[in-house]
Amino acid sequence: MMALIQKEIRNNVGIITLDNPKKLNTLSEEMVNDIIKALDEFSAKRLPVVVLKATDGVKVWSAGHDVKELPRKMRDPLSYYDSLERVLRAVEQYLGPVIAVVHGSVWGGACDLTMTCDMVIADDTASFAMTPAKMGVPYNLTGILHFMNRLPLNIAKEMFFTASPLLAKRAQELGIINHLVPEKELLDFTLDIAKTIMSRSQLSVEVIKEQFRILSKAFPISPADFERVQGLRRKVYDSHDYEEAITAFLEKRPPHFNGQ
């Protein structure tokens, strides 16, 4: 069968290309497993930097979660061992920087994936939409933190509440895009940054990445608060509207939410 991603090593930089454009590079379990496997291989070779991109020229960098794979009602759609969560952790735990190179629109779980990457290089077609409220999904706390660590609270909220795309220029101004470059220069520009990083002490970069990871998660809350959040989230994924959103999406019609 066709590979869903391409992987390559160029000048010691690992390059992963999402390559299932017909399915809008949906983060299906299969594609996620391919990405994780590639990261494991690069890690075994201790490649200092990884680039995560999509096939050149696609309109949609990735459409996020494969809705067909979302659990039906009564089950948490963002559980710790679900595929999206596993790939986010794989990126966070990769030994060196993972740089997202973004051309086109990024949706939902894929948006969380780019926010989990250590840096984002994009061109002006890039846009970022955080879509759980479209799908009736109660998002998880760690995912929300990815946005709070990058954006003013009110901007992060707007992304989640509206599910509207944040366009490249504003994203660059706010800083979630590190560099906005012309489409043609995207990869070369990124590889130049990778080259700079690789001229530094890899040991030092590795431990600093780990320190950022730990600090960016240091928003501790009491078990009582967490269990309450989990109880609230369960009410959402037990709801009519969660089921309706998935059904409507698969039937390619707008959902009829009733707030219950």
Within positions 152 to 181, which residues make up the interface with its own copies, using CB under 8 A?
Answer: 152-158, 160-164, 173-176, 178
Sole residue written with tokens 């690992």: 14
Query: In this chain, which stretch among 4-12, 58-66, 140-148, 150-158 interacts with Ni ion, using CB under 5 A?
Result: 58-66
109 is annotated as an active-site residue: yes
Binding of its own copies at residue 134 (CB under 8 A)?
A: yes
Q: Which of the residues 9 through 68 are near its own copies (CB under 8 A)?
A: 46, 48
Binding of its own copies at residue 218 (CB under 8 A)?
A: yes
Q: Which is nearer to Ni ion, 140 or 190 (CB)?
A: 140
From its own copies, Ni ion, none, interface partner of 151 (C-beta below 5 to 8 A by class): its own copies
Q: Of 38, 111, 79, whose CA–CA distance to 233 is shortest?
A: 79
CA angle 250–255–258, rounded 5-degree value: 140
Give the DSSP H or E segment for 10: strand 5-10
From its own copies, Ni ion, none, interface partner of 134 (C-beta below 5 to 8 A by class): its own copies
Q: Which is nearer to its own copies, 3 or 185 (CB)?
A: 185
Kindly give, in sequence order, each residue whose CB lies less than 8 Å from that of residue 103, ignoring residues fewer than 6 positions away.
Answer: 53, 54, 56, 57, 58, 61, 122, 123, 125, 126, 183, 186
CA angle 111–67–140, rounded 5-degree value: 50
From its own copies, Ni ion, none, interface partner of 24 (C-beta below 5 to 8 A by class): none
Q: Are 117 and 91 in contact (CB under 8 A)?
A: yes
Of positions 65, 103, 146, 233, contacts Ni ion by CB under 5 A: 65
Binding of its own copies at residue 142 (CB under 8 A)?
A: yes
Of positions 97, 104, 109, 136, contacts Ni ion by CB under 5 A: 109
Strand pairing category for 60-62 and 119-122: unpaired
Q: What is the CA radius of gyration of the chain?
A: 18
Binding of its own copies at residue 190 (CB under 8 A)?
A: no
From its own copies, Ni ion, none, interface partner of 204 (C-beta below 5 to 8 A by class): its own copies
Q: Which is nearer to its own copies, 63 or 156 (CB)?
A: 156
From its own copies, Ni ion, none, interface partner of 108 (C-beta below 5 to 8 A by class): Ni ion
Catalytic residue among 14, 64, 96, 109: 109
Cα–Cα distance between 174 and 141 in angstroms, integer?
A: 22
Q: Which of the residues 71 through 100 are near its own copies (CB under 8 A)?
A: 74-76, 79-81, 85, 97
In angstroms, what CA-CA distances link 120 with 42, 102, 113, 150, 241? 20, 7, 11, 12, 34
Q: Which is nearer to its own copies, 36 or 229 (CB)?
A: 229
CA angle 257–258–260, rounded 5-degree value: 110
Angle between helices 108-116 and 83-93 (to 10 degrees): 20
Binding stretches for Ni ion (CB under 5 A): 64-65, 108-109
